[in-house]
Amino acid sequence: MPENNEKILKQISPKKIVFPILIGLGVASYMVYQEWDSEAFSVLNITGYSLFFLFVAFLMMIIRDLGYMIRLKVLSGKALSWKSIFNIILLWEFTSAITPSAIGGTGLAVFFIHKEGVNIGQSSAIVLATSILDEFYFILMFPLILFFININDLFIIDSQTIGESISFVNKYFYFAIVGYSLKFIFTLFVFYGLFINPKGIRTFLLWIFKLPFLRRWKNGAEKTGSDIILASSELKQKPFTFWIKAFGATFFSWTARYWVVNILLLALIGSSSNLDSIISASEHILIFARQLVMWIMMLVMPSPGGSGFAEAIFSEYMSQFIPIGFVAVMALLWRIISYYPYLFIGAIVVPRWVKKVLYQKK
């Protein structure tokens, strides 16, 4: 097997699930221990209502991945079968789950798609297109949310600070602005490279990565520049309807993901008659908005898949909507549904895919 393949296999080793699991479960277990309230849990009963909404929460994640699959089908045309797309999505999600949120699974996605029989130019185009579509969702939705929701409601969570004006002193506001700025700059950079001046971007990257403290990543920067040039020739030819279809799938995919917490709270309500009035319709919209902001915050976290940080920020940022004693458990349940399955499924899929695609295919 080529040396390059060996390096890539090390990056997607199933052994890498251990670190994010230990971090995430460690933080979540500590939080559950700190806030455990046996009296609060004594009023809970598993009902058909709560089980139904737990099922719907899992269904939201399935819809999310179906949206990703449809998008990949649109972007690849007839180059990929549904079976190949299914494998690629699982591999992609697994890679995202074991790498820092700022990196995600994009770096290896070109490799996955190429190994499923797509030429390197089209593979690069598909991956860069998914990146720009994902980032465009956040760039569009964040200001839209700020238009409909009071900025203080979105970022100020301590009841003692009601009436306080938002500022960079607020850590949530700071994380969100930094994360959004990084996404915005990245999207402008990729858009300019794909549709306006791909050769200029490649030249710029090579110049930047000549700096002494960046020189070790020069080869990667050169490859990125070459990928942008290859992708540009593919994507410039696509009609407007192509982008509408691809963004439509992106929109439904991400939106389904952000409804998971809302659905879990409905399941919690269904477990106890004492909790039937904890959330209003307007609060559901605010909960959805805070999930989007949480994802933007996670961009600046170095841990794999935001492990540890995601559980902690959820417990604090969503606490006003969840009764005392249930916050940490809800944070853990949220991650069990939206994050951990990709670690375990990926650990099963990766060895089989490696054996089939890398060792059997010549």
- Show the domain range for 96: 3-360
Listed in sequence order, the residues at least 6 apart from 276 whose beta carbon sits closer than 8 Å to its beta carbon are 269
User: Could you give the angle at the alpha carbon of 130 between the alpha carbons of 346 and 19, nearest 5°?
Assistant: 30
Highest averaged pLDDT of the listed ranges 17-31, 150-164, 316-330 = 316-330
Arithmetic mean of pLDDT over the chain: 77
pLDDT at 161 over 60: no
What CA–CA distances, in Å, run from 171 to 177, 304, 343?
10, 21, 29
Higher pLDDT, 42 or 22: 22
- In this predicted structure, the answer to whether residue 343 has a pLDDT above a threshold of 90 is no
- Quick check: 37 pLDDT over 90? no
Look at residue 167 and give its three-state secondary structure.
Answer: coil
Q: Cβ(271)–Cβ(46) under 8 Å?
A: yes
Mean pLDDT of 307-330: 75
d(Cα 320, Cα 39) in Å, to the nearest integer? 19
Q: What is the pLDDT of residue 73?
A: 94
Give the mean model confidence (pLDDT) for residues 21-44.
58
For CA atoms 55, 285, 320, 184, the dihedral sign is positive
- Report pTM: 0.81
CA dist 155 and 151 (Å) reads 6
pLDDT band at 157; cut points 50, 70, 90? low
Please give the Cα distance from 122 to 230 (Å, whole number): 8
DSSP-derived secondary structure letter, 359: I
With 60 as the cut, is the pLDDT of residue 355 above it? yes
pLDDT digits 0-9 by tens, 117-145? 888 778 888 888 898 899 899 899 988 88
Alpha helices by DSSP H, listed for the chain, are: 3-11, 18-35, 38-42, 48-76, 82-97, 106-115, 120-148, 151-155, 171-195, 198-208, 218-235, 240-258, 260-269, 281-298, 309-317, 327-338, 340-353
Q: Which residue has the higher pLDDT, 232 or 269?
A: 232
Predicted confidence at residue 64, as pLDDT, reads 93
> What does the alpha-carbon distance between residue 289 and residue 304 come to, in Å, rounded to a whole number?
23
pLDDT in tens, 59-87: 999 999 999 999 999 998 878 899 999 98
Residue 163: count of CB within 10 angstroms of its CB:
7
Residues 6+ apart with CB under 8 A from 54: 264, 267
What pLDDT sits at residue 359?
60
Per-residue pLDDT averaged across 9-19, rounded?
Answer: 61
Which residue, among 176, 128, 144, has the nearest Cα to 299 in the 3D structure? 176
Q: Domains in the chain: how many in total?
A: 1
Q: What percent of the chain has pLDDT over 70?
A: 72
Q: Contact 296/176 with Cβ under 8 angstroms? A: yes
Q: What is the pLDDT of residue 164?
A: 52
| pLDDT tens profile 24-33 | 566 656 665 5
Q: Say how far apart CA 277 and CA 266 lie, in whole Å.
A: 10
Q: What's the average model confidence in pLDDT over 324-347?
A: 80
Q: Which residue has better confidence, 37 or 350?
A: 350
> Average pLDDT of 231-253?
90
Confidence of residue 163 (pLDDT cuts 50, 70, 90): very low
Rounded CA gap, 198 and 190, in Å? 9
**Position 17 pLDDT exceeds 70:** no
Tally the C-alpha atoms within 13 A of residue 3's C-alpha that lie toward its C-beta.
0
Q: Please choose, from the candidates 84, 62, 140, the residue with its C-alpha nearest in 3D space to the C-alpha of residue 341.
A: 62
DSSP 4-15: HHHHHHHHT-GG
d(CA 99, CA 70): 24
Torsion angle (degrees, nearest 10) of CA 335, 341, 347, 349: -150
pLDDT at 250: 95
Q: What span, in angstroms and rounded, lies between the C-alpha atoms of 121 and 128?
A: 11
Q: Is the pLDDT of residue 1 over 50?
A: no
Per-residue confidence (pLDDT) for residue 56, from 0 to 100: 93
